[in-house]
A = this chain, B = another copy of it.
Amino acid sequence: MFRRLKLLKLGKNLHSRCSSTYTGNNSKFNQNLLFYGPASAVFIVGGLYEGKKRLFREAEAATAHIPTPPSFEPPDRNDLPTFKLSDVEKHGKNAERIWVTYKNGVYDVTEFVTSHPGGDKILMAAGGSVEPFWAIYAQHKTGEVMEILETLRIGNIDKKELEASKTKVANADDPFSLDPPRHPALLVNSQKPFNAETPPSLILDNFLTPNDLFFVRNHMPVPQTDIKKHRLQVSGLGINKPVELNVDDLKLKYEPVDVISVVQCAGNRRNDMNEYKKVNGLMWTGTAISCAKWTGVRLRDLLITAGVNPNDRKIKHVHFEGADTDPTGTRYGASIPFHKAMDPDTIVAYHMNDQDIPQDHGYPLRVIVPGNVGARQVKWVTSIKTSDIESPSHWQMKDYRAFSPSVTQADKIDYNSVPAIQEYPVQSAIMTPATGTKVSKDDGTIDVAGYAWSGGGRGIIRVELSADNGETWYSAELQQDSEQDLERMWAWTLWKAEIPIPKGIEPGQKVEIVCKATDRAYNTQPETPSGLWNIRGLVNTSWHRVKVDITE
């Protein structure tokens, strides 16, 4: 089933790939995989260990020459009626007729859905604009696609209403009123503060998660920062005189560094743990994790320039504060151990996937601490402070600590009984198929794909799947960043496998598929949340389980 995918040649440009997707191949798996970005066109076959098999960077290089597509404008169609945005909204994914907009054009895509090469994904835009999706899937931005779309045109959106819809108005009573617009595909766990996951059906499409689809974990309203006025203060133990820097200082005075690194929330997969036994917190499913390329300056360079002696034994921790505040004015804060702050890959970033970091992700500056939990990678960072103690922040001292399973009452927690989470344990999850997917027995096999990652730079050495709760295992093919080795792998591993439907399973029955990964230190995931369970539902790394329905 993977054969067709493997035939895709590196260097084949997006246009011709896009055309080939219009041939109407409707296999569920091809639909998914054809939408993998060009970076993932070739998977590792078999083991991952030899560097030459890790092809992400090569693939990236091979497609880097593709020009940015021009901006397309739908033609004026005064012969067609004008609709309100609220009219379009009524034609969502459950409506009889499916409408979408592109700029001021309105389109009825009902008949097109079945021939859309991205399959059901088009329904994510139903009742709204396709633009946020096309921003991510650039292959749509061709004359050919516009031509197809215009054949489905049924009307116009009033241009004034369109403009007005883009303007946000501050509301003094709502501290969240100036939060930025978000991509409609994000799965929202909480609006205020905004917390949302990447859709599992889209997360494997790109090795580097597009900025708009990167999961969002906000503790407070998004601060209204200004790249021209933003200041970063570096101070603390071993620094005689605090240093104040603006964003241009960082860009001009320090060596720029790129790091491809995952950010994962400590609460990722909390929902699975909650199903085992009730826990407290945002019910993240499996996609509070994303991977991006971050560009910035080494934290160690900032500290050394400020006067820190790298061998100073009094400095134990480095604290960060963000510009985000709670109603009492308390800023978000966290700290990391000094040795990690001095790691050459720990950076203060100003770019995310070659763009300014978006407002939701820390504009204009955030700390990237590769291999550590998201909570320490402080966004909108304004202050860096060396210290002999940990950050006294609530989020360092009283949150993001996973207590013993024996602690079952939230009011009886001894916060000093465990250390603040820093490095993450080994994790993996199945992104496709989703639970409830129907798989025909005649297929004989099930196509499975997902991600894996471990903290501390411990690369993933293998991912295995079982359809019989661990009796029989199948190894997945892995996709990794070819420029990172297993000793310092901050990027994630995407993987896929084709596993046989177990013998004796008949139509009408379910098959539970489990996955688990092994990292460079040969740590692997526990079977169930039993030994992991903690009242805050953190670091759930138990085997991920998905149940599919076998049909005729």
Please state the number of chain copies in the assembly: 2
B523 touches A531 (CB 8 A): no
Contact with B along A496-538 (1 / 0, CB 8 A): 0000000000000000000010001111111110111000001
Among A49, A472, A474, residue most surrounded by chain B Cβ atoms (within 10 Å):
A49
Q: Are B404 and A464 in contact (CB under 8 A)?
A: yes
Give the residue of B416, B425, B524 whose beta carbon is less than 8 angstroms from that of A522. Answer: B425
A457-499: CB near B (< 8 Å → 1, else 0) gives 0100110100000111111000000000011000000000000
Instruction: Determine how close the nearest CB of chain B comes to the CB of A264; give it in whole angstroms.
Output: 12
Q: Which residue of B lies closest to A372 (CB)?
A: B521
The reply to whether B527 and A531 form a contact with Cβ atoms under 8 Å apart is yes
Within 8 Å of chain B (Cβ to Cβ): is A374? no
As a 0/1 sequence over residues 422 to 436 of chain A, the CB contacts with chain B under 8 angstroms (1 = contact) are 111110000000000
CA of A298 to CA of B421 in the docked complex: distance in angstroms?
Answer: 31
A440-467 contacts to B (CB < 8 Å): 455-456, 458, 461-462, 464
Rounded to whole angstroms, the CA-CA distance of A528 and B528 in the bound complex is 10
Interface size class of A (residues with CB under 8 A): 35 or more
| B405 and A473 within 8 A (CB) | yes
Given A405-B464, A414-B46, A417-B47, A524-B521 contact (CB < 8 Å) = no
In the complex, A406 has a CB within 8 A of chain B? yes
Q: Are A470 and B46 in contact (CB under 8 A)?
A: no
CA separation between A69 and B425, bound complex, in Å?
Answer: 48
Residue of B49, B418, B472, B521 near A461 (CB, 8 A) is B418
Cα(A456)–Cα(B519), bound, Å: 13
Binding site for B on A (CB under 8 A): 46-47, 49-50, 337, 339, 402, 404-406, 414, 416-419, 421-426, 455-456, 458, 461-462, 464, 470-475, 486-487, 516, 520-528, 530-532, 538-539, 543
Instruction: List residues of chain B with CB within 8 A of the CB of A522.
Output: 402, 421, 423-425, 538-539
Q: Which residues of chain B are within 8 angstroms of A337 by Cβ–Cβ distance?
A: 487
Instruction: Kindly provide the distance from the CB of A468 to the nearest chain B CB, expressed in whole angstroms.
Output: 10
* Beyond A417-B462, A423-B458, A516-B531, 5 additional pairs, beta carbon < 8 A: A49-B418, A421-B522, A423-B521, A470-B531, A531-B543
The 6 A-B residue pairs whose C-beta atoms are closest, nearest first, are: A47-B417, A470-B530, A423-B521, A425-B523, A405-B473, A523-B523
Measured in the bound complex, the distance between the Cα atoms of B484 and A22 in whole Å is 61
Which residues on B sit within 8 Å (CB–CB) of A414?
46-47
Residue of A455, A522, A538 with most partner-chain B CB within 10 A: A522
Q: Which residue of B lies closest to A516 (CB)?
A: B531
Cβ–Cβ < 8 Å partners of A46 in chain B: 414, 417
- 29 A–B contact pairs at CB < 8 A? A46-B414, A47-B417, A49-B416, A404-B462, A404-B464, A406-B472, A406-B475, A419-B461, A419-B486, A421-B522, A423-B458, A423-B521, A423-B522, A424-B521, A425-B521, A425-B522, A426-B523, A455-B521, A456-B456, A456-B458, A456-B521, A470-B530, A471-B530, A473-B531, A524-B526, A525-B526, A526-B526, A526-B527, A531-B543
